Structure 1
C-alpha cells in the first residue's frame, strides 16, 4: 500500500489498535472466503474474488508484521525493516493484479483465461517484486538511512504506480464498456467495477498521510464486501444457464419502460420460442437441450447489438426468451425478429449440430395511450407467436 513505506520512529501506543484492526479485517474477509468456498457452483468471477480475498488476508497479516517491527515489539533490525516492507508491497501488487483479473472476469473477457495473456499482464507485479527483493542491495525503491529509518529510493514511485495502475486500468475499461454496451443489467455491473477502487484509493491516500491509522484495511474490506454482494445480486438477476437476464429482471425493466416513454420511439416486446425443442430433449437428452438454449441465447444477443442501447434480452422460462426493444417503427421490430431467426439458424450450422435450430418470434407493440398490465402486453406477443407457430407448421 502507499503507506507500507513508513517514516519516523517507533511507538507502542498504536500497535495494539493497528494489529486488532488488521485481525478484524482478516476475520471479515474470512467470512467472504468461507461463503465462496461453500458455493458448489462457482462462476469464474467468484473464483477470482476468492483469490483476491485470500491475498488481501495475507496482506493484512503482513501489515501486522510491519506494525510489530515498527512498534518495537521485536528488535527493529535492518533485515526486518526490509522484510516487513517487501511483504506489504508485493502482496498489495498481487492483490491489485487479482482485482484486475476479477474485473475482467465479471465483464466476461475470455482473454484472461489464457495463461500466456495472464503472464504478460502480471509483468508489472514481477517487476515490483524484483525491485522490492533487491532493494536491500540496490536501494532503488527504498533503503535504510544512517538513522535506521526506511527512506524512499529513486524508483519508489513504481511501487505506487503498479497497484494503482491495475485498479485505474480496470476502472477505465469498465466505464468505457458501460457507455458502449447494449445490455441493461450489465451496465450496472460495469459502473460497479468502475467505482470499486474509490474506497481503497481514498483511504490509501489517507493512510499515507496518517500512516499509523489502518484506513486502507477498512477500505479494502468495504470494497470486497461490495463486490461480493454485487456478484450475488448479479447471480440472482441472471439466468444461470444462458447468462441473460431472468424473468424478474425483465419485469423490472419492462415496468420502468412502460412508465416512461421515449419521444420518437415505440416499445416492442418480442417473445421467442424454440421450434421442436421437446424433440431435441427427447432425442439427444437434456444436456444437449441446455446446450441448444445457450447457443440460442448467444444468437439473440448477437442480433441485439446496436449503438442506441435499446435492447434488453431475457429468458422468460423453459425454451422461451423475451427481447424488449425501443424502435421507431414496427418494421424495425420485424427486421429484428428476422435477424434473430437468421442468427439462430447460422449458429446451429456453425456448431455442426445433428439437428436444425429454429425459432418463432411473436411481436407486440405497447400503446402508451391505452396502458395495460405487463401480463396483457406479454399475452399480445404470445398471441402473435402462436400465429407464427401455425404458419411455420403449415
Structure 2
C-alpha cells in the first residue's frame, strides 16, 4: 500500500512488481478452485469476491510502483490515479471481508440488503474523499516537488479498511470465548486471527513503503481462511449443514474424558419416523427437504445463550445431540421440545404429510466408564424402546 512521502528509486520496482505478480498468481489458483468447487455457499461466494478485489488491488499496486519508479512518466494526474485505485480497492476488499466474516458466523445482520448498504457507508465516504482529492487535497495531494503528501483526513484512508478487519476480529474473539459451541470455535478464531498478518505487515510497509510486505500478508491470511473453511466443510454433513458423524465422535470422545463439575453428559438419538414412506410417496427430493427441515428444527430447539449442545447427523434419518445438563429431566424436556417443534413443520411448510421423530436418551456415568460405541448403543436401545412403544 503506498504511503505518502519518499523518493523515487527505480531499482525496487522490479522486485515490487514481481512480488505482486506472484501473489496474483497464487490468488488466481484459489479463485479457480472456488469457482470450480461443488460448494456454492454464500460464504464461498464472498471469499471469491475478496480474492478478486485483492487481485485488482495488487494490479493497482503494480501500476503505482511503475508510476512511482518512473517506469511510466510520472505526473500529477497519474500520481493521484494510482493512489485512488489502491486505497479504494483495499477498502472494498476489507468491507467484503467483514460481510464474509458475519456470514461465516451466521449473523443475520448482513442478510438484508439495506444493512449491507449501511455497513458500506465508510467505503463510500473514503471513496468520495479519494476521488475528490485532486480538488480538495483532504486525504492526499501532490506538492510543488511532485511528491505525494498526506492531507488533513489522510487517517481515514487507513482507519476504514483496517477498521472493518479489526471490528470483525473483535466480534469473532468475543463469540469464541462467550459461546459454548465446539465446532464454531475454529471459525471464530480463524476470523479473529485473519487481520493480524495483514495489519502487522501493513504497518511495516508503512515504515518501509517500497518493500512489498502487505501483499504477502494478505495472501497468507486468505490462504488461511480458505484452508480453514475447507476443513470446516469436510466436518459438515453436505445436506443438512450440521456436524457429521466423524466430528461427533471427536467431540463425544473429548467429553467422555473430562467431566464438567455439576453437569451430566447425555446423548440423545433422534430418528425421523417413517421417512421411507415420505421417500416412496413423494420422492427422495422431498425426503431430503424433510431431513433438512428436521435438522433445522432440532438446531433451533438447541439454541440458547447458555446452551451446551452439539448437534450432528448420525446416519440416514438419525441425528445425535450431545448435551451437558444438570438433571435427566432437562434431557427429557429437550426431547419433548424437539418432538413438538418437528410436529409443527407440517403446519409451517404446508406439507401433504406429517413429520414426527422418536428420541432415545442415554446418560453417561463417569464412575463406571464405558466405550464410546457402548454409550451410543444405550441411546439407540432407548430409541428402539420408544419406537416399539409408539411414543412419538
TM-score category of the 2 structures, normalised to the smaller one = over 0.9
For 1:9-20, what aligned pairs fall within 5 Å after superposition? 9-20=7-18
TM superposition shift of 1:182: 4.3
8 Å CA contact 2:358, 2:391 repeated in 1: no
Which piece of structure 1 moves more, 378-387 or 4-13? 4-13
Task: Please give the alpha-carbon distance, in whole angstroms, between the structure 2 residues aligned to 1:309 and 1:359.
Answer: 22
Residues 318-373 of structure 1: per-residue CA shift (max 9 Å, x gap)? 11000001112211111111111112112332222221111100011112222222
The equivalent of 1:322 in structure 2 is 320
TM superposition shift of 1:393: 6.6
TM superposition shift of 1:72: 1.4
Q: Which of residues 71, 82, 85 in structure 2 aligns to 1:73?
A: 71
2:230 maps to 1:232: yes
The equivalent of 2:100 in structure 1 is 102
The equivalent of 1:365 in structure 2 is 363
Number of matched pairs: 392
Task: Please give the alpha-carbon distance, in whole angstroms, between the structure 2 residues aligned to 1:89 and 1:308.
Answer: 42
TM-score after normalising by structure 1: 0.96
TM superposition shift of 1:309: 4.2
Task: Please give the alpha-carbon distance, in whole angstroms, between the structure 2 residues aligned to 1:237 and 1:390.
Answer: 33
Q: Which of residues 77, 81, 84 in structure 2 aligns to 1:86?
A: 84
Which piece of structure 1 moves more, 361-370 or 24-33? 361-370
Task: Please give the alpha-carbon distance, in whole angstroms, between the structure 1 residues aligned to 2:182 and 2:345.
Answer: 24
The equivalent of 1:192 in structure 2 is 190
TM superposition shift of 1:389: 0.3
Residues 238-277 of structure 1: per-residue CA shift (max 9 Å, x gap)? 1111111100000000010111111221111100000111
Which piece of structure 1 moves more, 344-353 or 124-133? 344-353
Q: Which of residues 32, 35, 47 in structure 1 aligns to 2:33?
A: 35
TM superposition shift of 1:35: 0.5
The equivalent of 2:60 in structure 1 is 62
The equivalent of 2:262 in structure 1 is 264
Task: Please give the alpha-carbon distance, in whole angstroms, between the structure 1 residues aligned to 2:173 and 2:345.
Answer: 30
The equivalent of 2:278 in structure 1 is 280
Structure 1 residues 369, 99: closer, same or farther in 2, change over 3 A?
A: same
The equivalent of 1:223 in structure 2 is 221
8 Å CA contact 1:182, 1:305 repeated in 2: no
2:181 maps to 1:183: yes
TM superposition shift of 1:5: 2.9
TM superposition shift of 1:81: 0.6
Task: Please give the alpha-carbon distance, in whole angstroms, between the structure 1 residues aligned to 2:326 and 2:391.
Answer: 31
C-alpha root-mean-square deviation of aligned residues, in Å? 1.5
Task: For residue 167 of structure 1, give the secondary structure of its aligned residue in structure 2.
Answer: helix
TM superposition shift of 1:180: 4.0
Task: Please give the alpha-carbon distance, in whole angstroms, between the structure 1 residues aligned to 2:108 and 2:308.
Answer: 25
Task: Please give the alpha-carbon distance, in whole angstroms, between the structure 2 residues aligned to 1:393 and 1:278.
Answer: 19
8 Å CA contact 1:36, 1:46 repeated in 2: yes
Task: Please give the alpha-carbon distance, in whole angstroms, between the structure 2 residues aligned to 1:166 and 1:348.
Answer: 42
For 1:105-124, what aligned pairs fall within 5 Å after superposition? 105-124=103-122
8 Å CA contact 2:50, 2:96 repeated in 1: yes
Which piece of structure 1 moves more, 319-328 or 171-180? 171-180
Q: Which of residues 191, 199, 202 in structure 1 aligns to 2:200?
A: 202
Which piece of structure 1 moves more, 35-44 or 273-282? 35-44
For 1:288-367, what aligned pairs fall within 5 Å after superposition? 288-367=286-365
Task: For residue 115 of structure 2, give the secondary structure of its aligned residue in structure 1.
Answer: helix
TM-score after normalising by structure 2: 0.96
The equivalent of 1:142 in structure 2 is 140
8 Å CA contact 1:206, 1:215 repeated in 2: yes
5+ residue gaps in structure 1?
none
Task: Please give the alpha-carbon distance, in whole angstroms, between the structure 1 residues aligned to 2:194 and 2:345.
Answer: 36
Task: Please give the alpha-carbon distance, in whole angstroms, between the structure 2 residues aligned to 1:334 and 1:309.
Answer: 15
Moved >4 Å (runs of 4+): none
8 Å CA contact 1:104, 1:170 repeated in 2: yes
TM superposition shift of 1:148: 1.1
5+ residue gaps in structure 2?
none
Task: For residue 33 of structure 1, give the secondary structure of its aligned residue in structure 2.
Answer: helix
